[in-house]
A and B are shown apart, each in its own frame.
Chain A
Amino acid sequence: MLFKNTIAIAALVSASTFAATDTQKPSVHGAAWMQFGRIENSYATPGSANNYDENWLGNYGGLVGTTFQVDENWEAGLGLGSILVHLPRGSISSADIWYPFWVGFASEARLTYSQTSYADKGGLQLNLGIFPYNYNSDSKNLGLYLLKGNVYPGTLVPGYADLFGVVQSRAGAMGRYKIGGLTNDLLFVVEEDKPLYDISIADVVTWRVHSSFEFGFGVNFYRAIAADPDATSPGTDCRKEKLGPYSGSGPTPEQDNPCFIVEKDALGNPTDTLTGSLAGTKLMARFRLDPKVWFGSPESMGGDELVFYGETAVIGVKDYPIFYTDIQRRIPVMMGLNLPTWKLFNLSVEGEFYASKNSSDNLPAQNGSWLPGGTTDPGTGRDDWKWSVNASRVVLGNIFLGLQVANDHLRLGGTHNNATGQEAMRTPQDWYWAFKTAFFF
């Protein structure tokens, strides 16, 4: 389910809107899609209801959007959509408790102010509301670590598109300053994962040094401003009952609380209580290399073919005892390559290495625990590598066809009454495929 390309449709729609809009005349655009696929192999804890092996995946949706150029400086965009999703069927024991539901959403609801001649010469642009934001447009699935996922625990989530293949939008505000090949984005992001409404402050710099080479870096002070400090940074008075119902019982039998770390001596007697926080600092660096430029950008190849790209991040610069002791285990690295197809279609491969030994389960974090969840993974280290192959093509100008085969950070949320934040792909043997067809205008 997860094409980033997929929802790149929405971005396409948005981009074309920018170009076509006349002053005082709203332009209407839309997209509709059908996506289906199958999990071919997924590790399941023996006896678990959340057995996704050979489960079919699918969702269907549509969205309508407008862009409205109010005057030479102000522009506004709104988009509304609805998507049909369903719980995964899981094991045979759970498969009969299955139901689809329609979910409405706003893909954007933004006000944008741009300095005069911004499009030609750069300058300042301000965005307010819900707006799509993507600092690494090459990423199809893996990467985009800076603004997605928790810091403690450092669980990763898929990239540009979310679980349902809808463009990932940000709520908050962004100021962008662009001069020459240099772009700086300052973001105030309202977090919509629980605990709700914390504000993260991030800055992303992109420098296009040459038409063949671009790099960028950024920092995210995740949850820097807490809506409820007690929820974001539970103190020593925290009890499990104070956190959400899925906060878990602690990462290990020895650490059987989700609120804080208890240090113990050799005899197992508590010596200290260490509090922490869901808040933390992420760092990111990325690059984009287009070697075609060195050979005169041959017309027989598409604009993105042969582009080599990568991204790395530090998911939390601060160490904590026991679970976050080694910063190297908090550094995911991804690389991607757009393979040559001579304009037949878009084809890319992406790979990722992330050596974290903590559970991939982000459900405790969404219930207030900054400690990793307890793990039922088959073994540590076996899920360090992720990969994704994406192919897509736009035909007849407005029809999108796409295919993704991957072992990535797909999370299905669990079956009925069996909520989980664990990844569906947890061993090297796990993989799934998904196909998407869409039209846009």
Chain B
Amino acid sequence: MSRFFLIASALCLSAVLSHGEGIPYEVHGQAWSDFGRIGKASDFLLPGGTSDVLLDLNGNPILSMGAQFTVKASLGENWEGAFGFGAHKISHALGHGQKSFLTISMFQNFLTESRLTWFSGEKENPNFSITAGSFPYKYHANVQNLGLYLFRGPVYPGALMGGFQDFAVDSTKSTQLGAKFHHAMGNFSHDIILNSERELPPTFDWSLGYVAKYKAFDALEFGAGANFYRLFAYDKKLQTPGKLTNEELQFEKARYIEVDSATGDTVFFTHKGIKTMAMFSLDFKPLFGIESLSRDDLKLYGEAAIIGVQNYGKTYGDIADRIPVMLGFNLPTFKWLDHIALEVEYYGSPYRNDLVRLGNNNTVAPWTLQKHPIPSPKPAENADYKIDANGNWKNAQGDTIKVNGTGLARENVSVDNLKWSLYLDKTISNHIHFIAQVANDHYRPRPIATGLIDATGGTAEAFSEASNWYFMLRAGYFF
């Protein structure tokens, strides 16, 4: 990594020196204020078993605000550098009772971009370019919320990511750290992305992705891609922890393997895996010669992916459970709005969409393997619950628990399969942007302030039934 950045720095310095003084640059910025509220969230996670400590998100307000600057500098005839930073306010999930007083609000810093690009052809639409550093990458421009599966989220477990104005749907915020090779030829374009995992443990593995797109008749765009997720491991022991000894793991490695009772074969789970993706966008306006609508009106778009092409034991035994599909349609706005986008998604995974199994003990790489890195049908902190003779999940004290979308409510493992999002936005005076969104999506409230990040917030989705929803409003500006 350090060598990579040294090279990038040297390239940048040489580009600057060769160009001389008076580098032309542009300053861009954004600022925004968000307000929203959770309308309904069905799950009460009961970490302590009493009414005072449950995480009840119903009616919780969600407030945030943020701002960012980005400077783009022309470093030479074919060179561009960009860097920027921002801060946005984040808060722990409120819940109710004492938990709400443990909430901490703070500004979190982030880099909008930190990249160096060499390009051939037009800067805005190059026929070939190489980018190194931290950069945004959004391969499906129509997506407002759901989708973008190829570079969002892990493979095993196949958790989906997103939420209101997730960084991945904002083309001004970096989501990739590494390199991008872009080539375009007429209506065909393709990208190779080398990305360092910087968010999900085990961190610093390298993934290699490829996306190809073709646009036909000015109306139809389709594409496909693959992501060899964690192809190069920072530490192979962390990538397949079942091969470690119990002493190295400090607990039973049975959490990372599955033994077939019939054959005795052992399956070693791994974080490494392959995603594939297909996408399309169909614009009905040119097909019907309609010119009176907004630019993106009447577009139908969709995306599907396989989150892990390889089956593993019973836990990952059915590939159909690992195929999310989303469809979106931009309803006609008659130029009153920029978009009214309705998106729906189906994902048949029988597991709760929870990242807690990835392990987290408030340490950085090499990441401490604290809990199950591979999902089981139960949230990790409810491991003491077992199915009784009546099919109910009970612990030794006789407490019962039900968490939809998991094995703790076996009859309801599919109630979180359907997601939806209705997105509206309007830009006025070219720089002021208003957004409204109502959705049941992959929003993860930040953890309640109990110390470690766990499934009581931050790692698990807030919404576990089709009837769950929240709304968000944003007012902001950009230049």
Contacts and interface: CB of A to CB of B under 8 A. Distances in A.
B10 interface: no
A14 to B, nearest CB: 14
Nearest to A73: B429
Task: Among B59, B63, B430, find the residue whose CB has the most chain A CB atoms closer than 10 A.
Answer: B63
Contacts of A243: 98, 101
B96 A228 contact: yes
Main secondary structure of the interface of B (DSSP, over half): strand
B52 interface: yes
B63 A197 contact: yes
B106 A103 contact: yes
Contact of B98 (A68, A77, A245): A245
B111 to A, nearest CB: 12
Contacts of A108: 31
A192 interface: yes
Nearest to A75: B477
A106 B108 contact: no
Given A28-B27, A196-B105, A70 B100 contact: no
Contacts of B32: 109, 129
Given A26-B27, A76-B477, A129-B475, A106 B65 contact: yes
A243 B476 CA distance: 35
A129 B432 contact: no
Contacts of B431: 68, 70, 74, 76
Contact of B67 (A109, A192, A195): A109
Task: Among B59, B67, B107, B476, find the residue whose CB has the most chain A CB atoms closer than 10 A.
Answer: B67
Given A70-B432, A104-B109, A129-B65, A80 B87 contact: yes
A197 B91 CA distance: 11
Given A109-B66, A241-B52, A195 B101 contact: yes
A219 interface: no
A80 B52 contact: no
Interface in B429-459: 429-432
B127 interface: no
B107 A109 contact: no
A78 interface: yes
A245 B102 CA distance: 8
Contacts of A129: 31-33, 65, 475-476
B449 to A, nearest CB: 10
Interface string A66-90: 1010110010111110100000000
A78 B429 CA distance: 18
A171 B87 contact: no
Interface string B84-101: 011111010010111011
A111 B429 contact: no
Interface residues of B, number: 43
Contact of B429 (A26, A70, A80, A230): A70
A87 to B, nearest CB: 16
Query: Which size class do A's interface residues fall under?
Result: 35 or more
Contacts of B428: 74
A225 B97 CA distance: 18
Nearest to A102: B109
B427 to A, nearest CB: 11
A26 B66 CA distance: 18
Contacts of A110: 31
Task: Among A28, A111, A171, A368, find the residue whose CB has the most chain B CB atoms closer than 10 A.
Answer: A111
B153 to A, nearest CB: 27
A144 interface: no
A91 to B, nearest CB: 26
B429 A74 contact: yes
B94 A228 contact: yes
A259 to B, nearest CB: 12
8 A-B pairs with least C-beta separation = A244-B101, A78-B31, A109-B31, A76-B477, A78-B67, A104-B107, A129-B33, A104-B87
Interface of B: 27, 29-33, 52, 59, 61, 63, 65-69, 85-89, 91, 94, 96-98, 100-103, 105-109, 428-432, 475-477, 479
23 contacts: A70-B429, A74-B428, A74-B431, A74-B432, A76-B477, A78-B31, A80-B67, A106-B31, A106-B65, A128-B33, A171-B33, A194-B100, A196-B61, A227-B61, A228-B94, A230-B96, A231-B101, A241-B52, A242-B52, A242-B97, A243-B98, A245-B102, A366-B101
Given A77-B31, A108-B31, A197-B61, 11 more contacts: A66-B27, A70-B430, A70-B432, A74-B428, A76-B432, A106-B65, A128-B475, A227-B61, A228-B59, A242-B98, A244-B101
Interface of A: 26, 28, 64, 66, 68, 70-71, 74, 76-80, 82, 103-106, 108-111, 128-130, 171, 190, 192, 194-197, 227-228, 230-231, 241-245, 247, 366-368
